[in-house]
Amino acid sequence: MHLSKVYFSILFIVITLVSCTIPDMTDEPIVNELDSYEVIQHHSEVEEGDFLFRLYTDQPEQIEGEFVSLKGEIVYIGDEAEIEISHTDEPISFHIKEKIRGYSIPYFIKEIGVYTILTKDEPYEVSFNRANIAPLEEEDKNEMRFIEEFSEREDFPVGYYEVIGMFDFFITDPEVPEDEAHIEFETKIDFKVTN
Domain boundaries, the chain: 24-194
Number of Cβ within 10 Å of residue 83's Cβ equals: 19
* Confidence band for 18, pLDDT divided at 50, 70 and 90: very low
pTM of the model as a whole: 0.81
Do 98 and 160 contact (CB within 8 A), yes or no? Answer: yes
Q: How far apart are the first and last CA of the chain?
A: 46
- 3-class state of residue 122 by DSSP: coil
- Mean pLDDT, all residues of the chain: 85
Q: Taking 80 as the threshold, does the pLDDT of residue 8 lie above it? A: no
Burial tier of 78 (Cβ tally within 10 Å: 0-12, 13-18, 19+): middle
* Confidence band for 108, pLDDT divided at 50, 70 and 90: confident
Instruction: Classify domain 24-194 at the CATH superfamily level.
Output: Immunoglobulins (2.60.40.10)
What's the pLDDT at 32?
A: 80
